[in-house]
Amino acid sequence: MVNPKTEPDVYIGKFLNNRYLIIDLIGKGGMGRVYLAEDAAKGGKQVALKILMLNLVNQHISQRFGREIFIGAQLGRKSKNIVRVLSYGMTDERTPFYVMEYLQGKNLKQILKVKPLAIEQFLDICYQICLGLQCAHQGISLKGEIYPVVHRDIKPENIFITENSKQKENVKILDFGIAKFLTERSGMTLTDSFIGSLPYCSPEHMEGRKLLDVRSDIYSLGVLMFEMLTAKHPFQTQSNSFGNWYQAHRFQVPPTFVEVDRQLKIPQELQDLVTNCLAKEVSDRPQNIKEIIAVLEQIKQQIEQPNSSSNDIWETLPTVQLVPITSITEKECLQKIWPKNKPVDLIGFPHLLYTSQGLIPTFWAMLPKQEIAQFLSKNHSIEFINKINVYPMILWVTVLYDIQISLIRWLSYFIDLQETRGQKIVKVLAETGYYHLLLFAIEEPTNCPQVVTLTLSAKQRQQLTDWLTTKEDIQSTELVAAEQAKNILKTEYEKIKLEILHNLAVNKPQEQIEIKNWFSKIIDKVLQIFKHYQ
């Protein structure tokens, strides 16, 4: 950060592209300057605008800057934990720039100057950082191919913390794509012109290995995690030289948390996680962000078990008294009859039902009578599949199965968030936290004989809320057609079916049936059964 009043700036006060009025200089780095601007097309809404430095403007560098814009635009739409790129353009001097969402808050460096994070705050912030990194590591699409993105510059300055109206901390990762752009200059290698923040670089990054993978980011995350918990860096050097930092990262053993501060009370699992992330060899670290997320979730659950009143990482919604309400509304559902405008067939559809307890989300499905009896006491799974950056649509899936007779039903429905009805269904689902599944027998289609109440996880409720918010930021010109979106979601659906079935199986340890004996039977039926609900 710089003080804009200490040096004149040629852009302050300019009106770029007849749209962006430059107000103030708010940041400066090795590659560009970041300004506070007002977007005239959005009623003067504040945005952040990054302009490439004049001394770097040439065809080759501008192309790489354009690639940074492309990466940022894709990732920002995929994850709420990555800063969004909104637009781009050229100044009158033909200098490229791009526009980002304007964030108000503090970066982690500013926060850690005061004190380390409490465990609960650490888990919340670290979880969101991991979600952003996981999104990047899963890759972006370019000419039909998926390319993973390695950040290469994870450090406290690039983690920005904002607060929403509910005083919940939101994490945004900044500067995706910059390190990759700079390390791939024509004619240069990392050893010729090293680019990176020395205190947070992995050993392999400093050694100039050309093929860095996601585990380099995991090392940098380990350094950041240590600092978040202690407000101190895990390594000490005599100077800030490249050689000293390389010796530290490659050979120095980080201190234990007790050695840093005997007063720290950090769960052993969390200490082990940080230590593993800081492993010198890439093969000794967690191999992907998913492994880290799993440990964080486990630690969070262990901490909250003795204190059920503490806030969940994903839970920002009011608590619902499920038992007394559902017992009343289930009885009201049993009085419902199959709509006359719906065919008597193997179909399913959602319906918002007005009850004595208010508006309740329900899903009505018609199945063979014999199957209904089998499913009532068996396992189930709820899935919500989306590609909000492609089209604001959600595929809502309820899976019912009976492992003993290899019977499975996939009840699915597309919810279009462009439509008011779809928005209302998702909003009520998120607020309520459960829905009633009304099962009608195809042989006796009039009355509802059975009702099952299915509960959403706190994470699913938060996801639904986030998707409703995210769809507001998507321009209609950026979207594919609704039918094309359905095909994309169906493809994603097919990819996760085996994982869903596996999870359902391992969650029933009392069923002493080997997966090999029944899994293939279920898979043989999946495609045939799925056709009834498309």
pLDDT value, residue 508: 46
pLDDT value, residue 405: 64
β-bridge partners, 352: 361
Tell me the pairing of strands 96-101 and 407-416: unpaired
Least Cα distance to 230 among 192, 248, 256 occurs for 256
Which stretches within 33-106 are classed as H helix?
Answer: 59-78
pLDDT value, residue 361: 93
Q: What order of strands is seen across the sheet that includes strand 450-455?
A: 348-355, 358-367, 434-441, 450-455
DSSP tag of 533: G
Which one-letter amino acid corresponds to residue 361? Answer: P
Q: What is the torsional sign of CA 244, 249, 255, 261? A: positive
Q: The pTM is what?
A: 0.57
pLDDT value, residue 331: 83
DSSP string, 154-219: --GGGEEEEE-TTS-EEEEE--TTHHHHHHT-TT--TTTS--S-GGG--HHHHTT-S---HHHHHH
Least Cα distance to 140 among 218, 217, 72, 216 occurs for 72
Distance separating alpha carbons of residues 137 and 141, to the nearest angstrom: 12
- Estimate the crossing angle of helix 482-506 against helix 515-530, to 10 degrees: 160
- What 266-275 contacts at long range (C-beta under 8 Å, 24+ apart), as own/partner pairs, is 266/119, 266/229, 267/119, 267/299, 267/302, 267/303, 269/295, 269/298, 269/299, 269/302, 270/119, 270/229, 270/295, 270/299, 273/225, 273/299, 274/222, 274/225, 274/226, 274/229, 275/222
Burial class (CB in 10 A: 0-12, 13-18, 19+), 381: middle
* Residue 345 designated active-site: no
Residue 128, φ and ψ in degrees, nearest 5: -70, -35
Least Cα distance to 292 among 133, 514, 440, 442 occurs for 133
> Token pair for residue 59?
């065809």
Tell me the pairing of strands 140-142 and 145-147: antiparallel
> Token pair for residue 112?
């850690």
Residue 397 · residue 495 · CB < 8 Å: no
Say how many C-beta atoms besides its own lie within 10 A of residue 197's C-beta.
17
Distance separating alpha carbons of residues 323 and 4, to the nearest angstrom: 59
- Give, in degrees to the nearest 5, the angle at Cα 521 between 518 and 527: 135
Which stretches within 334-402 are classed as H helix?
Answer: 369-375
Q: Which residues contact 190 (CB under 8 A, 6 or more apart)?
A: 183, 205, 206, 208, 209, 210
pLDDT value, residue 475: 54
> Token pair for residue 279?
């492993």
Distance separating alpha carbons of residues 434 and 328, to the nearest angstrom: 14
Say how many C-beta atoms besides its own lie within 10 A of residue 33's C-beta.
20
Distance separating alpha carbons of residues 313 and 168, to the nearest angstrom: 10
Least Cα distance to 248 among 222, 280, 275 occurs for 280
Distance separating alpha carbons of residues 291 and 179, to the nearest angstrom: 25
Least Cα distance to 226 among 176, 261, 187 occurs for 261
Q: Binding site: which residues?
A: 50
Which one-letter amino acid corresponds to residue 28? Answer: K
pLDDT in tens, the chain (534 residues): 445 445 578 899 999 999 999 999 988 766 788 999 999 999 999 999 998 876 666 666 676 677 778 888 888 888 889 998 898 888 888 888 999 999 999 999 999 999 999 999 999 999 999 999 999 998 887 777 777 888 888 999 999 999 765 567 899 998 875 445 333 333 223 333 467 789 999 999 998 877 788 999 999 999 999 999 999 999 999 999 999 999 999 999 999 999 999 888 899 999 999 999 999 999 999 999 999 999 999 898 888 765 444 344 333 333 333 333 466 778 888 889 999 889 999 999 999 988 777 788 999 999 998 888 777 655 677 888 887 777 888 999 998 877 666 678 889 999 998 888 999 999 999 888 889 999 999 998 888 888 888 888 878 888 888 888 876 656 555 567 888 888 888 888 888 887 777 776 655 443 333 333 434 444 444 444 444 444
Q: What is the torsional sign of CA 50, 53, 54, 57? A: negative
Q: Binding site for ATP: which residues?
A: 50
3-state secondary structure of 464: helix
pLDDT value, residue 406: 67
> What is the number of residues in the chain?
534
Least Cα distance to 329 among 434, 411, 399 occurs for 434
Set 153, 175, 217, 402: catalytic member: 153
Least Cα distance to 31 among 49, 12, 52 occurs for 52
pLDDT value, residue 431: 86
pLDDT value, residue 73: 84
Maximum CA extent, the chain? 81
pLDDT value, residue 402: 73
Distance separating alpha carbons of residues 20 and 40, to the nearest angstrom: 6
Say how many C-beta atoms besides its own lie within 10 A of residue 314's C-beta.
20
> Token pair for residue 287?
């191999």
Residue 72 · residue 100 · CB < 8 Å: yes
